[in-house]
């Protein structure tokens, strides 16, 4: 079983079409990884599927970096 961090990073790589080494914990989806606003919506959709949960819009808006996604999953599905 992969760790939450590995699973999140894998999704980011797939969704945004970026290289694995670019997906550092501090990377911002928009500023560092070239995501547009629709990409970030789709990224949250993919996270919801991977972790079988629903992320409310108000929480989703706060997930702007890889670390924030990992933290969110750990906090809500731990």
Partner 1 sequence: MSDSILAGEIALVTGASRGIGAAIADELARLGAKVAGTATTETGAARIAERLGAAAEGCIGLCLDVTKQASVDAALVAVEEQLGSKPTILVNNAGITRDNLLMRMKEAEWDAILDTNLTSAFRLCKACARSMTKARHGRIINVSSVVGVSGNAGQCNYAASKAGLIGFSKSLARELGPRGITVNVVAPGFIDTDMTRELPEAQRDALLASIPLGRLGAAEEIAAAVAFLAMPAAAYITGQTIHVNGGMLMV
Residues that bind partner 1 (CB under 8 A): 36, 38, 41-42, 45
- Of 26, 31, 32, 36, catalytic: 36
26 is catalytic: no
Is 32 exposed, middle or buried, given 0-12, 13-18 or 19+ CB atoms closer than 10 A? middle
Residue with tokens 């080494």: 21
Closest distance of CB 42 from partner 1, Å: 6
| CB of 15 vs partner 1, minimal distance in Å | 11
Nearer to partner 1, 6 or 36 (CB): 36
CA distance 61 to 42: 12
Residues marked active site are found at 36
């Amino acid at each position: 079983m992969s760790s939450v961090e590995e699973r999140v990073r894998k999704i980011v790589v797939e969704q945004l079409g970026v290289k694995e080494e670019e997906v550092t914990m501090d990377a911002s989806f928009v500023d560092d990884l070239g995501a547009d606003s629709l990409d970030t919506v789709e990224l949250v959709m993919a996270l919801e599927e991977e972790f079988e949960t629903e992320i409310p819009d108000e929480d989703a808006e706060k997930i702007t970096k890889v670390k924030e996604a990992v933290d969110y999953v750990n906090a809500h599905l731990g």
